[in-house]
Amino acid sequence: MKFTAKQIAEVVNGIVEGNPDITIQKVSKIEEGEPGSISFLSNPLYTHFIYKTEASIVIVNKSFISEHPINSTLIRVDSAEVAFAKLLELYNQIKDTKSGISKQCFIAESAILGENLYVGEFAYIGDNVQIGNNVRIHPQVYIGDNTRIGDNTVLHPGVKIYSDNIIGKNCIFHAGVVIGSDGFRFVPQNEGNKKIPQIGNVVIEDDVEMGANCAIDRATLGSTIIRKGVKLDNLVHIAHNCEIGENTYIAAATGIAGSTKLGKNCLISGHVAMAPHLTIADNTSMGGATGVSRSLTKPGLSYLGSPAMEVSKFRRSIVHFRNFQEIVNRIEKLEKERKQEKSIN
């Protein structure tokens, strides 16, 4: 589809500077812009590209002042980054407009389906499943018995949702996400470890997004809970009976052990590991590869290291870590000198 600069300006509440009738049909990075594409400039480090880009339209901040001639048509907005994000969201919606139910999927007779669905090839929808309106279920998705899925949720190819789970509205699960697999619980016995049955479920509230290959375990009893607005990167594992607070962001390769509870608005970087049965306060931040072995109950603090310590303490300590061998050598030298003094006396 083609759009004019005038049409785009209306969408992003911008002002056209140049040809309002010029058209675009794709998006591009400003340094790779080509005719027929739209790009944006928000980071000053990329300003030099705007003078040589071939993009037909560039979205810029209203405050942008040109120092050289620009060939592209400009659209001035309050925030170029926000406006471009809005356009990308619209682009995704237009691109992913599939609808209808494939003849090659399986839907149980007892399932209750909403309106305007897309169900792709080889998808499976089990007994007593309830699916809301405008849900998109891509090929090879599995939805187990008694599961409920809210309006406008998108399940990308290969998502697996076990039985009895609850998924809210406006959620996005990327390829390979697994919801409701068994929690990792065993009882050591003389004849070997005995598996503890996991009979709980997973409850995911509205507006949650999960990256590729995330795994959320069902609770032993009760529910593993992912609160409203949580965003998970790829390869995040959340174990049985955990609770993740509203609007918390968790980056890739993070693992959270059973029954740990995170507060609201936490920012968890990549490769963080959390022990079981912990409580993490609201607005907590953790740097990459932080190892958390105890509860962090003071809200609003930032942590680094393993075991986790407050950032200010970690930065002071890292100076000593780096000089550790030198400190050891000095101590050994002092001890040697002291022994020599004793032997002389």
Would you please indicate which residues are annotated as catalytic (active-site) residues? 240
Residue 228 per-residue DSSP state: T
Distance CA 281, CA 266 (A): 8
> Which among 228, 233, 237 has a CA at the least distance from the CA of 269?
233
Cβ proximity of 49 and 66 under 8 Å: no
H helices of the chain, in order, are 5-12, 80-95, 311-322, 324-344
Instruction: Tell me 174's DSSP state.
Output: -
Rounded-to-integer distance, Cα 268 and Cα 262, Å: 10
225 phi and psi angles, rounded to 5 deg: -125, 130
C-alpha–C-alpha distance, residues 280 and 243, integer Å: 10
Residue written as tokens 């992003």?
12
Contacts of 155 (CB under 8 A, 6+ apart): 135, 136, 137, 138, 141, 143, 149, 161, 173, 177
